[in-house]
Amino acid sequence: MSDIPVIYLFLLIVYTAFFSTLSLTKLWIKIAKKSKLLGKDMNKYSKPKVPEAGGVAFIMGVTFAMLVYVFIKTFYLSTTANLVDVLAILVTLLLAGFLGFVDDILGWKVGLPQWQKPLLTIPIAIPLMVINVGNSVISIPFIGSVDFGIIYPLLIIPLGIVGAANGFNMLAGFNGLEASMGIVILSTLGFIAWSNGILWLATVTFSTVASLLAFLVFNRYPAKVFPGNSLTYAVGALIACVAILGNMEKVAVFLFSPYFVELIVKAKNKFKTECFGIPQKDGSLKPPKKVGSITHALLKFVKSEEEVVYTLLAIEILLAFLALFWFKPF
């Protein structure tokens, strides 16, 4: 393919992802309201009820864009290059979204402990395991390059995908936070993929970024829809898929630094704490007496929900620039 068709295809898929997600999110808000699928906004003093599980619209928007991409490559460009990889990503996305939606609907009713939920997300890794993607040779500090062979698809891939899906779900609960963080991380990985000439992966990655931008239109402060686990599981799994398929595991791990910190803080509190602050009448937030999340620590320095999101977003953007400079991936 020449450069011009690649650019046109890229723009078409990104355009499709953005506007399909925009329309579907509008529709989902109406459906959720009619179905009374609502949740309290815990960072607002009045605790307004907001449509939940908006990740369904994101997943449908990305799925539609990916299917358009597959259709064009198959019937217009007459090539099946990397279509197996694209379909594996799509199946991973759908599995993650389905399990996240089940958790959104039934999780609180069943009362599953936090430590049991990662076990339910193991099936998300199956698509990439069965096609044996990625590079089994990994460079380990102080040891050197190690070829993990069959252990890579059977153990390392599922650990990466399940860990990313559940890790991304830990730092959540503030209007626009999940979508914004996903945009920065996936944009960084997509840029690296494009710079390294992995154009199909960059196209798929930026289609998810476009969908998150469309979702953010309704999820930014004050949120008209919540993402739910259907979005957080899906975005976390997608980050892992892109990192594995583009051999960018080191970059992804570095970009996930805030989530590792959150894991440590939550583990110290036996995973019994939430990220929410204590809302005040003037619209500000106060931290709980016991710090159970990095959001609580930030609330000692900032006063509002928006400021917490902007601070975490600024940290993630800084990590993105450091990753590009430090790893020199292109």
How does pLDDT run across 106-141, given as a tens digit for each residue?
765 444 556 666 777 788 988 988 887 777 776 666
Question: Could you give the count of Cα atoms lying within 13 Å of 14 in the half-sphere of its Cβ?
Answer: 17
The answer to whether residue 166 is domain-embedded is yes
At 146 the pLDDT is 74
The answer to whether residue 216 is domain-embedded is yes
pLDDT in tens, 232-280: 999 999 999 999 999 999 999 999 999 999 999 999 988 888 899 999 9
Q: Point out the least confidently predicted range of 96-100, 159-163, 176-180, 323-327.
A: 323-327
List CB contacts of 32: < 8 A, sequence separation 6 or more: 38, 51, 52, 53, 54, 225
Closest CA to 230 of 91, 66, 103, 50: 103
Mean pLDDT in residue range 86-90: 96
Helix axes 228-245, 83-102, angle to 10 degrees: 150
Range of the domain at 165: 3-246
Closest CA to 313 of 197, 211, 178, 111: 178
pTM for this model (two decimals): 0.93
Handedness of CA 246, 92, 41, 300 (dihedral sign): negative
The answer to whether residue 63 is domain-embedded is yes
Residue that wins the pLDDT comparison between 156 and 141: 156
The answer to whether residue 320 is domain-embedded is no
The answer to whether residue 226 is domain-embedded is yes
SS (H, E, C) 267-300: HHCCCCCCCCCEECCCCCEECCCCCCCHHHHHCC
Contact, 58 vs 234, CB < 8 A? Answer: yes
Q: How far is CA 102 from each of CA 32, 59, 219, 249, rounded to the nearest angstrom?
A: 15, 14, 21, 29
At 327 the pLDDT is 72
The answer to whether residue 303 is domain-embedded is no
Domain count, the chain: 1
The answer to whether residue 132 is domain-embedded is yes
The answer to whether residue 177 is domain-embedded is yes
- Beta pairing partners, 137: 147
Mean pLDDT in residue range 21-35: 97
pLDDT in tens, 215-228: 999 999 999 999 99
